[in-house]
Chains A and B, each alone.
Chain A
């Protein structure tokens, strides 16, 4: 089963290497990992998607907790959450195909962010299913290049997985 973890870490150099190294060393597979600063510049948030049964997940979580830079880990898999990924796709788009591709972009609420003589770059955000469908519908035109950010996620409603600014934990 795939799990989505929201991990708050201190924004120290090397913290990504520590987290990634922990996964590879113990043979756990990361499906996706997205990192960025939070509203507090001293704290970053990682969204990690990892494959494994409950036992594996328990170990992953415990081992992550051992890292001094890791402040908080929430497994939000079973909760209601919003998740997004951003994809950029460069697709073959000769003049005769552009209309079709623009229609597809419309359907997926994607945006055209670059137009070349024979190619287009499209940008699309959404959850994994939508991104996959978008990619599938562009495949027939010939995808030249594709890049995805990895998933970021946030709990719905009033619950949250952050901490308050003095560094102490705040319960959901």
Chain B
């Protein structure tokens, strides 16, 4: 049977189980849009291609299924770049399709030509330029396979317009055959035995858990593992929700904006069990003093992460879920002792708190969001102080409920991500916790939310500053607030102009009623919380300092 490239694309997407794509049309993808016109696939038209990439990313993080986005050639493709880099840094399975000029015009600086495979080489797990329609089905199959297996990541497929419009005799490409790509899933028995022995001997173990736990679906195994060996669990930003935040062994986040008790525990442990993490510099602080008394065990599916930033004594390469299950079988339950007591004392002594002074505090807003949503919401964030407060003051008990740009730190991520999350989780409450700076980076996506009746709630913690920048200027640049103060639009009117509901809240007592009202409406809501202007995120380990040298 003859099919066009565009039809092959649509059929392959169906075969991969794709029900939703996020995209934006243009000349080079018109054949694909024409095929989508009759297809049984939901297409969400965002208002910017960056929004499409972040929405696909949010969709993937919330659902565990690959996110798919589509853009036209040239500017459409380059507008995806930040979204792709974001997914790459956080290991999110994303498949991005871009249109390209016809093959005969390639390399001639043709209208709307951009070498997008060249541009995205360092920010994709792999990418393809399809020059022959007969390769298309195989490439799409490989793209999904690569994006979703091993350490997940974004894959880009660039499709010239003649490839999507040419008719060809369709042939099933058969099973994926990539001789150079064989992710290791099963840990080696020998290393497992070494690891079990080290755990049995450890007196002060600490688990440091990251996004790998969430991605491999290992949250139950992690919990059993921690309870078995009575190890407190600190999580990275990406790991929040991978271990229940209300569990007695939970230490919350560690690192630059971690809790004091998490950082103290890491400084004093004798065995650090790193699970699905990558020893980001925001976590480790000064490397020489990171877990300096401990042996380090590292469990990760990506062998290249082992020893990349820190020395590792016991590497365990494999899928986190399988490794933890295998370890659990080899371990005996431990009894509580002085270490567990010490942790509890630290937790009591150095709780994460803030000062109430009658003004509207950002921490209070987030606590109230937690109460009103009973901890059941999916939270996305932008990047800045509000992101850290969202990490500290909302308790995440389930995986895939905290969705934030960790590795790249992309302002403008939260709103489009929330749209993707809401598409993936239609019945759930989705909140984007935003800063007044960040929200303005992709605020146009409010139109998308209104367009598709996606009732996302946006809580702007409005301090009139690029708050995190201001905080650094306060601490390290002698309060010289160079270009970090914002003159903002009227967010309420802006929301209304988009057809959403706008609200402004200025007093602590008004927070809860406003949130209740927001949840009672089925429309997208933009809430402008006018907060204390110079509140800081604490505790704070200054960059390059050791983790026990915290301010606040």
Partner-B contacts on A (CB < 8 A): 9-10, 13-14, 17-18, 21, 25, 55, 58-59, 62-63, 65-72, 163, 167-168
Interface magnitude class on chain B? 10 to 19
Interface 1/0 per residue, B282-314 and A, CB below 8 Å: 000000000000000000001110111000000
Q: Are A71 and B179 in contact (CB-based, < 8 A)? A: yes
- Inter-chain CA distance A152–B177, complex, in Å, is 29
Q: Are A168 and B179 in contact (CB-based, < 8 A)? A: yes
Q: Are B179 and A62 in contact (CB-based, < 8 A)? A: no
Q: Are A18 and B302 in contact (CB-based, < 8 A)? A: no
Determine the residue in chain B with the shortest Cβ distance to A55. Answer: B307
Neighbouring B residues of A25 by C-beta, 8 Å: 122
- Inter-chain CA distance A25–B308, complex, in Å, is 15
Neighbouring A residues of B125 by C-beta, 8 Å: 66, 68
Neighbouring B residues of A72 by C-beta, 8 Å: 180
Distance to closest chain B CB from A166 (angstroms): 9
Known: A14-B117, A62-B303, A65-B303. A167 touches B126 (CB 8 A): no
Determine the residue in chain A with the shortest Cβ distance to B153. Answer: A66
- List 17 A-B residue pairs with CB atoms under 8 Å apart, sorted by A's residue number: A9-B180, A14-B118, A14-B121, A17-B118, A17-B121, A18-B121, A55-B307, A62-B303, A62-B306, A62-B308, A66-B125, A67-B180, A68-B146, A69-B180, A71-B179, A71-B180, A163-B179
Q: Are A68 and B122 in contact (CB-based, < 8 A)? A: no
Q: Are A59 and B308 in contact (CB-based, < 8 A)? A: yes
Distance to closest chain A CB from B175 (angstroms): 13
Interface 1/0 per residue, B123-156 and A, CB below 8 Å: 0011001000000000000000010000000000
Determine the residue in chain A with the shortest Cβ distance to B122. Answer: A25
Determine the residue in chain B with the shortest Cβ distance to A59. Answer: B308
User: Top 10 closest A-B pairs, CB basis?
Assistant: A62-B304, A167-B179, A71-B180, A68-B126, A68-B181, A70-B180, A71-B179, A62-B303, A63-B304, A25-B122
Option from B121, B181, B303 in Cβ contact (under 8 Å) with A21: B121
Q: Are B304 and A68 in contact (CB-based, < 8 A)? A: no
Neighbouring B residues of A21 by C-beta, 8 Å: 121-122
B178 within 8 A of A: yes
Q: Are A167 and B177 in contact (CB-based, < 8 A)? A: yes
- Inter-chain CA distance A120–B303, complex, in Å, is 51
Distance to closest chain A CB from B511 (angstroms): 46
Q: Are A66 and B117 in contact (CB-based, < 8 A)? A: no
Determine the residue in chain A with the shortest Cβ distance to B304. Answer: A62
Distance to closest chain B CB from A8 (angstroms): 8
Known: A58-B307, A59-B308. A68 touches B121 (CB 8 A): no
Distance to closest chain B CB from A10 (angstroms): 6
Q: Are B307 and A68 in contact (CB-based, < 8 A)? A: no
Distance to closest chain B CB from A23 (angstroms): 12
- Inter-chain CA distance A55–B117, complex, in Å, is 30
Which parts of B301-329 form the interface with A (CB within 8 Å)? 302-304, 306-308
- Inter-chain CA distance A14–B116, complex, in Å, is 12
- Inter-chain CA distance A65–B306, complex, in Å, is 13
Q: Are B179 and A13 in contact (CB-based, < 8 A)? A: no
Distance to closest chain A CB from B88 (angstroms): 12
- Inter-chain CA distance A62–B178, complex, in Å, is 18
- Inter-chain CA distance A21–B129, complex, in Å, is 17
Neighbouring A residues of B121 by C-beta, 8 Å: 14, 17-18, 21
Q: Are B118 and A68 in contact (CB-based, < 8 A)? A: no
Neighbouring A residues of B308 by C-beta, 8 Å: 59, 62
Given A62-B308, A63-B304, output 20 extra A-B contacts at Cβ < 8 Å. Answer: A10-B180, A14-B118, A21-B121, A55-B307, A59-B304, A59-B307, A59-B308, A62-B303, A62-B304, A65-B304, A66-B125, A66-B304, A67-B126, A67-B180, A68-B178, A70-B180, A71-B179, A72-B180, A163-B179, A167-B179
Which parts of B244-300 form the interface with A (CB within 8 Å)? none
- Inter-chain CA distance A73–B122, complex, in Å, is 20
Known: A17-B118, A18-B121. A10 touches B304 (CB 8 A): no
- Inter-chain CA distance A10–B177, complex, in Å, is 12
Neighbouring B residues of A65 by C-beta, 8 Å: 303-304
- Inter-chain CA distance A25–B121, complex, in Å, is 11
Determine the residue in chain A with the shortest Cβ distance to B142. Answer: A68
- Inter-chain CA distance A95–B481, complex, in Å, is 75
Distance to closest chain B CB from A64 (angstroms): 9
Neighbouring A residues of B178 by C-beta, 8 Å: 68
Determine the residue in chain A with the shortest Cβ distance to B127. Answer: A14
Distance to closest chain A CB from B461 (angstroms): 36
Neighbouring A residues of B181 by C-beta, 8 Å: 68
- Inter-chain CA distance A146–B171, complex, in Å, is 51
Q: Are A13 and B303 in contact (CB-based, < 8 A)? A: no
Neighbouring B residues of A69 by C-beta, 8 Å: 180
Neighbouring B residues of A71 by C-beta, 8 Å: 179-180
- Inter-chain CA distance A59–B310, complex, in Å, is 12
Distance to closest chain A CB from B479 (angstroms): 36
Q: Are A13 and B129 in contact (CB-based, < 8 A)? A: yes
Determine the residue in chain B with the shortest Cβ distance to A70. Answer: B180
Determine the residue in chain A with the shortest Cβ distance to B151. Answer: A66
Q: Are B302 and A66 in contact (CB-based, < 8 A)? A: yes
Determine the residue in chain A with the shortest Cβ distance to B181. Answer: A68
Neighbouring A residues of B303 by C-beta, 8 Å: 62, 65
Neighbouring A residues of B307 by C-beta, 8 Å: 55, 58-59
Neighbouring A residues of B146 by C-beta, 8 Å: 68
Determine the residue in chain A with the shortest Cβ distance to B177. Answer: A167
- Inter-chain CA distance A56–B488, complex, in Å, is 48
Option from B118, B179, B302 in Cβ contact (under 8 Å) with A10: B179
Neighbouring B residues of A168 by C-beta, 8 Å: 179
- Inter-chain CA distance A18–B129, complex, in Å, is 14
Determine the residue in chain B with the shortest Cβ distance to A167. Answer: B179
